[in-house]
Amino acid sequence: MCTYITENIDVTGSGKGAEGWFALTEGTVYFDHPVHADAEHTLNIDLRNPGRGPGARVAVELTADAARALAEAILKTLDAVPADLLEPPAPARAA
């Protein structure tokens, strides 16, 4: 069963693909059937820069447990960083 649960976000960062590093501009997180992972469903993360063509993409397929562990590790790490090292929050978008 497909869930169609999808979140799209703007991202600022870099990813490394077959041709080296490139800027990332978009991200999509969704729960669905994986292409490669050995699981019935996975949390899939696509980070990309459409302006650089289809090769400018980093894809990850994680089991639910692995995705939760990654999310917790990311939050734990960011919470430990001194505030003056974090970038200021982006301005709120108009609705």
Q: How many domains does the chain have?
A: 1
Asked whether residue 59 is domain-assigned, the answer is: yes
Q: What is the pLDDT of residues 53-89, one digit of tens each?
A: 999 999 999 999 999 999 999 999 999 999 888 877 6
Asked whether residue 33 is domain-assigned, the answer is: yes
Asked whether residue 88 is domain-assigned, the answer is: no
Q: Rounded to whole angstroms, how far apart are CA atoms 64 and 78?
A: 21
Q: Is 51 strand, coil or helix?
A: helix
Asked whether residue 92 is domain-assigned, the answer is: no
Instruction: Supply the pLDDT for residue 84.
Output: 86
Asked whether residue 89 is domain-assigned, the answer is: no
Asked whether residue 52 is domain-assigned, the answer is: yes
Q: Which domain holds residue 11?
A: 5-82
Q: Rounded to whole angstroms, how far apart are CA atoms 7 and 53?
A: 21
Residue 63 DSSP code:
-
Q: Is the pLDDT of residue 92 over 70?
A: no
CB 44 within 8 A of CB 68: no
pTM for the structure as a whole: 0.82
